[in-house]
A and B are shown apart, each in its own frame.
Chain A
Amino acid sequence: MTPETIIHAAPHGKKKLTLEDKLYLVKTKKDNISHITIEHKKCTRCQNKVCLRVCPANTYEERDGKIEAAYENCLECGSCKVACPEGAIKWENPRGGFGVTFLNG
């Protein structure tokens, strides 16, 4: 019998979760006002649009040349504000009691 390589064995038939699936698992109390605002004027100077890839929740999207934030996906790490080279992202904590609750942090 040839030994099989364990390494590349398929994960036991379980469907691999996408990012969207995982965001769905996060307990969130959605506020009706966004805690993220974008100064679009500043974005026009921006070369690399790092917000589009730094966000662990894929909150940012470019639509018709404009950056938009789906704030309800936000995991509240704050990396986008820190990473934005133009200071175009105004990120505030959601109001008290709103936003994510981590159960296994």
Chain B
Amino acid sequence: MKQSDKIEVIVVGAGPSGLACAYTLAKAGVEVLVLERGEYPGAKNMFGGIFFSSIMEKFFPNFLEDAPWERFVGKRKFALLTGDSEMTFEMSPSSFNRSPFNHSFIARRGQMDQWFAKKVEEAGGNIIPNYCVRDFLYEKGKVVGITSGGDDDSFLADCIVCSEGANSLLTERAGLREKIGPEYRSIAVKENIRFSQSVLEDRFGVTGQQGAAYEYFGSSVKGLLGNGFIYTNKDSLSVGVGFSLSDFIKSGNKKTPHDILEEFKSHPSIAPLVRGGETVEYMAHMIPSDGYNRLPKFYRDGLLITGDAAGLLNTSFFHEGVNLAMQSGILAAETIIEARAKKNYSSENLSKYEEKLNASFILQDLKNCKNFLSFLTTHKAIINEYPALMNDILVEYFTVSEKPKTTIKKEIFNRIRKNVNIPRMASDMWGAWRNLV
């Protein structure tokens, strides 16, 4: 193992958080090296995905013209699935369909991360791909470098930023968190399904660069805590499911994630949307579900953690990850720039990072949805029973028959009385309003 010269800052991982950190540092004239285990930035990465671009646009005002996004999200749909039915809320506001397109762009990570990485290099940052960091190097309890554990050079640095993402092996090893158990992560699988552009546009009712983002809740994933999604790329669909690992284990489900994806794809509402396409890729990734109450420690002497590795993901309906990851990377960089002025990277100086996270939208949003997952875990009726009941009621109400409407109304009322504990439902709904919205 050779050791190269000391660098000012090393960033582990070239995802949105690591790259945003490196870009901010490079712009401020700090020497920064990003190490990425994939053959290029983005090679190992998978998301839904909507790239929420507001922060990226502050870096690059020409994001819209320059970045490799697939389609802007002009159309959003939120659907509740029951066994074989669907209830849907769809919106296509004019404001989403003109610049700045609600800062929401469907993208593929390989393309987007590489584009961003090039910007980091242009700003003076260095990136080494094909380099997997195996562990940190320590000196008297301070993190002072990294090693690949193999033949590659190891590197020493004044400060290290760990932006390794949801499979947070190094963060765990550095003692910044307890062992990651299934209650801290969801699993997601996704397929890329190719179509001719015209079939895709006709099927989803989009034109030009417009795209659609469909999210499926209710029992879309076999009653587990999670959801299904379809996003339109230029000439392909991203179709996937994600769900809580602890819920999956507890349910004693005999199905595999792949089975659950296949069942989602064959739901009567989904099958016609994916029919006839060619599956060209199948992928998997974890999603953090730490939530506000169980976040790891964000720093120690010589080390900061950002993005998914730090559990900084909005676990509610919004699914925002990349923008929180980027912002945390920026705040880590700002903390480092301040510590650098004092030539002191002790945990005391780096603790400013946590103050910055607390003051930013990141931890405020996480706090706002801190009970989201636990509430749904203990109130499964919201996922399964209530949507099914609502579906039955609507079906009954709209079913064509010679029955007088007053009789139908009475029957519906009786059905509700018989099937629902009204005070419990009222309390569930109030809880849903407080914890989910």
Q: Which A residues are closer than 8 A to B by beta carbons? A: 6-9, 11-12, 14, 17, 19, 22-23, 25-26, 29, 48, 50, 53-58, 75-79, 82-83, 87, 91-97, 99-105
Known A25-B281, A53-B255, A87-B179: A6·B272 in contact at CB below 8 Å? yes
B285 to A26, Cβ gap below 8 A?
no
- Contact partner of B44 (CB less than 8 A), chosen from A14, A19, A101, is A101
Stretch at the interface among B54-62, B124-132, B378-386, B418-426: B124-132
A104 to B131, Cβ gap below 8 A?
no
B205 within 8 A of A: no
Chain A residues whose CB sits within 8 angstroms of the CB of B166 once the complex forms: 78
Could you show 19 A-B contacts with beta carbons less than 8 Å apart?
A6-B272, A11-B271, A14-B278, A19-B258, A53-B254, A54-B245, A58-B258, A76-B284, A77-B285, A77-B286, A78-B286, A83-B249, A94-B132, A97-B37, A97-B129, A97-B130, A102-B42, A104-B236, A105-B283
- Contact partner of A105 (CB less than 8 A), chosen from B39, B47, B185, B272, is B47
Chain B residues whose CB sits within 8 angstroms of the CB of A83 once the complex forms: 182, 245, 248-249
A96 to B185, Cβ gap below 8 A?
no
B253 to A75, Cβ gap below 8 A?
no
B110 to A82, Cβ gap below 8 A?
no
Chain A residues whose CB sits within 8 angstroms of the CB of B271 once the complex forms: 7, 11
Known A83-B245, A101-B44, A104-B280: A77·B187 in contact at CB below 8 Å? yes
A79 to B185, Cβ gap below 8 A?
yes
Residue of B nearest to A8 (CB): B268
B279 to A25, Cβ gap below 8 A?
yes
B256 to A102, Cβ gap below 8 A?
no
* Chain B 328-372 near chain A by CB (<8 Å), digits 1 or 0: 000000000000000000000000000000000000000000000
Chain A residues whose CB sits within 8 angstroms of the CB of B45 once the complex forms: 102, 105
B180 within 8 A of A: yes
B281 to A103, Cβ gap below 8 A?
yes
B264 within 8 A of A: no
B302 within 8 A of A: no
A93 to B282, Cβ gap below 8 A?
no
B64 within 8 A of A: no
Chain B residues whose CB sits within 8 angstroms of the CB of A29 once the complex forms: 39
Residue of B nearest to A55 (CB): B256
A79 to B286, Cβ gap below 8 A?
yes
Chain A residues whose CB sits within 8 angstroms of the CB of B182 once the complex forms: 82-83
A105 to B108, Cβ gap below 8 A?
yes
B44 to A100, Cβ gap below 8 A?
yes
Residue of A nearest to B233 (CB): A104
Q: Which B residues are closer than 8 A to A by beta carbons? A: 37-39, 42-47, 108-110, 129-132, 134, 148, 150, 152, 166-167, 169, 179-182, 184-185, 187, 189, 191-192, 233, 236, 238, 245, 248-249, 252-258, 268, 271-272, 275-276, 278-286
B282 to A25, Cβ gap below 8 A?
yes
The complex places the Cα of A11 from the Cα of B245 at a distance, in Å, of 31
The complex places the Cα of A48 from the Cα of B108 at a distance, in Å, of 36
A82 to B185, Cβ gap below 8 A?
yes
6 smallest A-B Cβ distances: which pairs?
Answer: A97-B130, A105-B46, A78-B167, A104-B192, A22-B282, A105-B109
The complex places the Cα of A49 from the Cα of B104 at a distance, in Å, of 41
B423: min CB distance to chain A, Å: 37
The complex places the Cα of A79 from the Cα of B166 at a distance, in Å, of 10
A43: min CB distance to chain B, Å: 16
Chain A residues whose CB sits within 8 angstroms of the CB of B253 once the complex forms: 53
B364: min CB distance to chain A, Å: 28
Known A26-B282, A97-B130: A104·B108 in contact at CB below 8 Å? yes
- Contact partner of B256 (CB less than 8 A), chosen from A8, A9, A56, A82, is A56
Chain A residues whose CB sits within 8 angstroms of the CB of B249 once the complex forms: 48, 50, 54, 83
B257 to A56, Cβ gap below 8 A?
yes
The complex places the Cα of A102 from the Cα of B190 at a distance, in Å, of 11
The complex places the Cα of A75 from the Cα of B129 at a distance, in Å, of 19
B255 to A7, Cβ gap below 8 A?
no
Chain A residues whose CB sits within 8 angstroms of the CB of B37 once the complex forms: 93-94, 96-97
Known A22-B191, A82-B185, A93-B169: A102·B278 in contact at CB below 8 Å? no
Chain B residues whose CB sits within 8 angstroms of the CB of A12 once the complex forms: 275-276
B136: min CB distance to chain A, Å: 14
Known A95-B150, A104-B108, A104-B236: A22·B132 in contact at CB below 8 Å? no
A104 to B185, Cβ gap below 8 A?
no
The complex places the Cα of A55 from the Cα of B431 at a distance, in Å, of 34
- Contact partner of B281 (CB less than 8 A), chosen from A8, A87, A104, is A104
19 additional contacts (CB under 8 A) given A104-B233, A105-B47:
A19-B258, A25-B280, A53-B256, A55-B257, A58-B258, A77-B285, A79-B257, A82-B182, A83-B249, A93-B37, A95-B132, A95-B148, A97-B130, A99-B44, A100-B44, A101-B43, A101-B110, A104-B280, A105-B285
